[in-house]
Amino acid sequence: MTPKKKKNIKVILFLVFIFLIGFIVLHLWAKNYIDNFLKQKAPEPYAISYSDLDINILTGSVALQNASLKIKDTDTLENNSNLKLESLQLSGISYWDLLFNEKLSINNIHLKNPKLNHYPYEQTSSKKTASTTNKKSIKTINIQELTIKNGSFNSMQQTADSIKFSVSSYNLTILGSEINLNSSARIPLTYEGYKLNAKNIILGHTKYETFKISSINSNKEATHIKNFQIVPKYNKKELSTHLSKERDYIKLTIPEINLDKLDFNYTKDRFGIKTPSVKLVAPNLEVYRDKLLPDDLTVKSLYSKSLRNLSFNLDLEELKISDGYISYAELVDANNEAGKLFFSQVDATLSHITNLKEAEKTDIKIQSKLMDKAPLNLNWSFDVNNKTDDIEVSGSLNNLPAEILNPFFKPNLNALTEGTLQKLYFTFYGNNIQSQGEMKMKYEDFKFEILQKNGFKINKVLTTIGNIFINDGSNTDAEGFRFGNIKAEREVTKSFFNYLWINVKSGLVSTLTGDGEK
């Protein structure tokens, strides 16, 4: 080997040695800098701890093991949120973007087993921190892939053991995300796609119900929800002991909910939810009311006003219900069972469920079977932006044996019916004050039997008097229909469905007891 070659090898070995020493020094400096920043220079409300820190400056990787993050109230020093995770790994950090493009670019962030507990009743200080005129050295954060594996989340109510919202297990992947640190938007985050799988979710509580979901599978194109439930905290009898006025007992199960392209957004600082399609499969709703309790005299809004007054924007183009079941029961006598009506095979299409200013008219079409026997159709529409809450409602009922209503009429009206209602049609128009419309009905031998107070024997005197005023189905047009008028005043302390009932009742009385002419 020539002296020149030996000299070159020595130079190369020296440079390699210097590089290795420099790399080791830089590695130790970087690790010490990051460790010192996380433990000593993190913003005041945050406290970070971990068992081990690993970095690799060649690959741009950082890993924390057994990490914990606590967010404290700056006034009370109480913990507002606690995050614990088995590991946090960042890889593919771009030094070029960091040094020259004012951007933090990361290929992958992976969180393993993060457990987050949030205590909203220990709110962070509302005092505004002094603004700074210094520009942020980093303007945007780009993450090609963020992955959370086997996470959980709990948001507590007023005590540490009272859950307000929780997810027992979830996996989340977000692709192509960008955070604009200089943006004034409420959500300065954009992303190309995401995938979420979550199980055993508690959505929230009222004093009387809990809202639950068994699982959610979601991405930008579709969201599938399994087993949504409203679960009562008390049985019907127990609930009445906790109430000072009437309130519905509600139990709801929806085995499957499908949403297309679910989108959350902010428009002019107002939160919004948008989806072109929602499908509810086989919902089962049970409603019960104890009428022995004092009336609830609070004013009830019609649906148009309720939508209009939502605190967020809602844009639901179409909602479809298939194979639903609804039951409604009222207890009016402590000595009798509650009278019950139910609707089976409920199919419905609700179009333009929205509160946007440019909204089209909301249109609702429902088909079902009353008491599993008589086909019932109901249609109604309203303009959400109409301040007088104008509505148009129409419906039809066919082939109803009157006696199937007796399980409801006997305990609630102390009456029995017989005969057959062959066809019934009604239409009425109204607003939040009053309504009027028309009804036509075709029936045979329709009769009422008024019961004595004990509910077992027929009160022959009242029955005879009542049936004098009820036409037997004669005096009809050529097609066998009798006609009646609808006129009603809304009871503002009652719901829309009470408004619907008093309109139908007005038409029934007019048709059964009037002259029957159009």
Residues 37 and 163 occupy one common structural domain: yes
Each residue of 2-34: pLDDT tens digit? Answer: 666 666 666 676 666 666 666 566 566 666 766
Arithmetic mean of pLDDT, 165-188: 88
Is 149 a member of any domain? yes
Each residue of 138-149: pLDDT tens digit? Answer: 788 899 999 999
- Tokens for 449, please give them: 């039997």
Each residue of 440-499: pLDDT tens digit? Answer: 999 887 776 655 555 444 444 444 444 544 565 566 788 889 899 999 999 999 999 999
Interatomic CA distance for residues 24 and 330, integer angstroms: 79
Closest-CA residue to 114 (of 148, 163, 161, 145): 148
Residues 6+ apart with CB under 8 A from 380: 364, 391, 392, 393, 394
- β-pair partners for 181: none
Q: Would you state the pLDDT for residue 182?
A: 81
Closest-CA residue to 391 (of 433, 349, 348): 433
Each residue of 220-246: pLDDT tens digit? Answer: 999 999 999 999 999 999 999 999 999
Is 133 a member of any domain? no
Say how many domains are in the chain: 3
DSSP 284-309: EEEEEEETTSPP--SPPPPHHHHHHT
Is 2 a member of any domain? no
Residues 376 and 402 occupy one common structural domain: no
Arithmetic mean of pLDDT, 395-409: 88
> Long-range contact list for 453-462, CB < 8 A, 24+ apart?
453/414, 455/336, 455/410, 455/411, 455/414, 458/416
- The rounded mean pLDDT for the chain is 85
Q: Would you state the pLDDT for residue 503?
A: 95
Residues 274 and 412 occupy one common structural domain: no
Residues 317 and 422 occupy one common structural domain: no
Interatomic CA distance for residues 441 and 481, integer angstroms: 5
Residues 422 and 500 occupy one common structural domain: yes
Is 258 a member of any domain? yes
Residues 371 and 238 occupy one common structural domain: yes
Interatomic CA distance for residues 489 and 435, integer angstroms: 6
Is 65 a member of any domain? yes
Query: Domain range spanning residue 512?
Result: 390-518
Q: Would you state the pLDDT for residue 495?
A: 93
Using an 8 Å Cβ cutoff, are 506 and 477 in contact? no
Give the confidence band of 508 by pLDDT, cuts at 50, 70, 90: confident
Each residue of 114-132: pLDDT tens digit? Answer: 999 887 755 544 444 444 4
Is 322 a member of any domain? yes
Residues 182 and 292 occupy one common structural domain: no
Q: Would you state the pLDDT for residue 27?
A: 60
Residues 221 and 273 occupy one common structural domain: yes
The last residue of a domain, from among 369, 385, 401: 385
Residues 69 and 194 occupy one common structural domain: yes
Q: Would you state the pLDDT for residue 418?
A: 84
Residues 88 and 175 occupy one common structural domain: yes
Arithmetic mean of pLDDT, 305-327: 97
Interatomic CA distance for residues 290 and 156, integer angstroms: 32
The last residue of a domain, from among 198, 217, 233: 198
Residues 435 and 346 occupy one common structural domain: no
Q: Would you state the pLDDT for residue 161?
A: 54
Least confident of 33-47, 68-82, 227-241: 33-47
Is 25 a member of any domain? no
Using an 8 Å Cβ cutoff, are 402 and 421 in contact? yes
Residues 370 and 474 occupy one common structural domain: no
Is 446 a member of any domain? yes
Each residue of 403-452: pLDDT tens digit? Answer: 888 887 776 666 678 888 899 999 999 999 999 999 999 988 777 665 55
Whether pTM exceeds 0.75: yes
Cβ atoms within 10 Å, residue 336: 13
Q: Would you state the pLDDT for residue 78?
A: 63
The last residue of a domain, from among 353, 385, 417: 385
